Amino acid sequence: MIQDIFPSRLELTFRNLVPALEDCFFSFQNGNVLLRICEDGSRELPTFRDLQKPIEKIRDLTVFLFCVDDIPIYLLQLNDIVASEWQCLRYFPVEYLNHILPEWVYFAGITALHLGHWYERNVYCGKCGDKMERNRNQRELICHSCGNIVYPHIAPVVMVAVINEDRLLMTKYADRSLSQWVLISGFVEIGETLEEAAKREVFEEAGIHIKDLKYFGSQPWGFSNSVIVGYIARLDGSDEVHLDKRELAVAEWHPRSNLPKELTDISIAYEMIEALRIHEKGGLE
Ligand SMILES: [Zn+2]
């Protein structure tokens, strides 16, 4: 999964650090990430030195994100500056981070993206409209006019693998060009337990009931500012699917001995599908 970066480690404890020229940073614009183009054509995370500006002029635009193996990583908030100012820096789609070394960069990047969304969407107080200020000692934003304090927002998502003996329910989204088979998932409502959310989503999207929910695992997923909680559940009652066509293009029972493969191994969906795959005796899988 994307967060499996062992032996490296993302350390999220907030630290009141001041960036130096040799420190790396993430900077985003419209879902794209700023990367340095090296002489051999490869890309890597930029350092503040690449901006070719005195560090004192940049510090106000930076915020500490986290450490990776004790190395501090920052967010650079560039609202008005375009990348064309720098010869060696260009914006690339965030998914491009999957090709950047070291291997922790992709997970660090989507985590930075999630934190970046939070900072970007909380410049002003949602209660009184005054400017929010960063607490120097912890990851929180404060409005000194009305006392409003805002903490990072994480939207929980449940993902459910519904099994019926040797079959697994798999779906395709209605509104995405990617025609990949996925598992049922959805955001948790306020006032709902994770298990209630799982049951509701499966019933809303596929019209079936589930029982015997078992926690599988979880995954931070910065693309949607969420954490995904995976459950494996058994069908309860009829296996006849009634599709919610606003959400799904198709939902079908697949034999667990012949499940479609996910395109990449970064998601918890991949882990869940592979955990439920029944391997034929003597097969290659
Ligand atoms: Zn306020």
What gap in Å lies between CA 268 and CA 270, rounded to an integer? Answer: 5
Tokens 């635009």 belong to residue: 61
- CATH top-level class for 155-276? alpha beta
Fold match, 10-121 / 155-276: yes
What's the gap in Å between 123 CA and the centre of ligand 1? 11
Q: Ligand 1 centre and the CA of 167: distance in Å?
A: 53
Fold of 10-121: Nucleoside Triphosphate Pyrophosphohydrolase (3.90.79)
Q: Rounded to an integer, what distance in angstroms lies between the CA atom of residue 285 and that of residue 283?
A: 6
CA atoms of 46 and 35, how far apart (whole Å) = 6
Convert the pLDDT of each residue in 3-47 to its tens digit.
999 999 999 999 999 999 999 999 999 889 999 999 898 999 999
- How does pLDDT run across 236-262, given as a tens digit for each residue? 999 999 988 888 888 999 999 999 987
Pairwise CA distance, residues 246 & 240, whole Å: 18
CA 191 → CA 44, 188, 197, 199, distances in Å? 43, 9, 10, 14
Domain ranges of the chain: 10-121, 123-152, 155-276
Query: How far is the centre of ligand 1, averaged over its atoms, from the C-alpha of 165 (Å)?
Result: 55
CA of 190 to the centre of ligand 1 (A): 24
Nearest to 27 by CA among 83, 69, 95: 83
Q: Say how far apart CA 124 and CA 135 lie, in whole Å.
A: 14
Q: Give residue-wise pLDDT tens across range 173-213.
A: 887 766 789 999 999 999 999 999 999 999 999 999 999 99
Q: For residues 196 and 49, what is the distance between their CA atoms, to the nearest angstrom?
A: 50
- In angstroms, what is the span from residue 120 Cα to ligand 1's centroid? 16
Q: How confident is the model at residue 85 (pLDDT cuts 50, 70, 90)?
A: low
Task: Determine the pLDDT at residue 248.
Answer: 86
